[in-house]
Amino acid sequence: MKISIQTGKNNQILRSVSEEIKLNEYKKFFLLWEEMVKFVKNPDNWGVWLAAPQLWINKRLISVSLIRNYDDDNFKTIYMINPKILEHSESTEFDKEWCLSVPWEYWEVERFSEIKLSYIWWNWKENILFLKWISARIVQHEIDHLDWVLFTDRTVEIKNNDKEHVL
C-alpha cells in the first residue's frame, strides 16, 4: 500500500470531522493501521505521527510514536482507534510543531503538558493512557486532525525578550 499524504490548509478532507470506527468496520481498517505504523516508524518519512484524514480516510484513527524527547531512539509506535482526551493538565507548554499536511511550515503551538486519554486497540478493548510532554503534544496534534483542526490554527503571538514574533 502506497501512502499518499493530503496537504493544504483548505483541504476538504483535512477540514472535516472524522467519523468513529465501528466494531463491524474493524477488519476493514486492519491493513491501514499496519501501514500507518510502518510509515511512522520509517525514518525516511520524517514523521512521528499520522492521522487517517491525512490519508484520504475520514475515520478516527491515528498512529503515533510515544517518545521522551526528539532524540529518543527507544520508542513505541502504536495506533489508536477512536482516541478521546478525557482529562488534561492546567499547565501548558509552547513548542515548535510541523505537519506532513502543511509542509515546510514550523510554528510555536501551545498544548497541554499532560493528558489522560482513552482509545481502542487491536483487541477492541478500551485502553486508558496518561501522557506528558512530547508524547502528549503528539497525540493532541493528531486528535486535532480528527476534529478538522490543523496546527496552524493554533499558532499564537509570542513576546520573547522584548522582541515580538507573530506566528
Find the domain containing 130 and state its range: 23-166
- As beta bridge partners, residue 131 has 115
Q: In the prediction, which pLDDT does 46 show? A: 64
Structural contact between residues 45 and 39, judged by C-beta atoms closer than 8 angstroms: yes
Residue 11 placed within a domain: no
Q: 165 among the known binding-site residues?
A: no
Residue 150 placed within a domain: yes
Q: What's 136's domain CATH number?
A: 3.90.45.10
Residue 1 placed within a domain: no
Residue 4 placed within a domain: no
Q: 88 among the known binding-site residues?
A: no
Marked catalytic residue, from 34, 93, 142, 164? 142
Q: In the prediction, which pLDDT does 127 show? A: 92
Counted domains in the chain: 1
Q: In the prediction, which pLDDT does 140 show? A: 94
Q: What residues of the chain score a pLDDT lower than 70?
A: 1-4, 6, 43, 45-48, 69-74, 156-167
Residue 10 placed within a domain: no
Q: In the prediction, which pLDDT does 134 show? A: 85
Say how far apart CA 39 and CA 50 lie, in whole Å.
8
Active site residue 142: yes
Say how far apart CA 136 and CA 21 lie, in whole Å.
22
HEC readout, the chain:
CCCCCCCCCCCCCCCCECECCCHHHCHHHHHHHHHHHHHHHCHHHCCCEEEHHHHCCCECEEEEEECCCCCCCCCEEEEEEEEEEEEECCCEEEEEEEECCEEEEEEEEEEECEEEEEEECCCCCEEEEEEEHHHHHHHHHHHHHHECCCHHHHECEEEECCEEEEC
Q: In the prediction, which pLDDT does 163 show? A: 42
Look at residues 55, 167, 160, 41 and name the one whose alpha carbon lies nearest to residue 108: 167
Q: In the prediction, which pLDDT does 159 show? A: 45
Residue 116 placed within a domain: yes
Residue 47 placed within a domain: yes
Residue 149 placed within a domain: yes
Q: 141 among the known binding-site residues?
A: yes
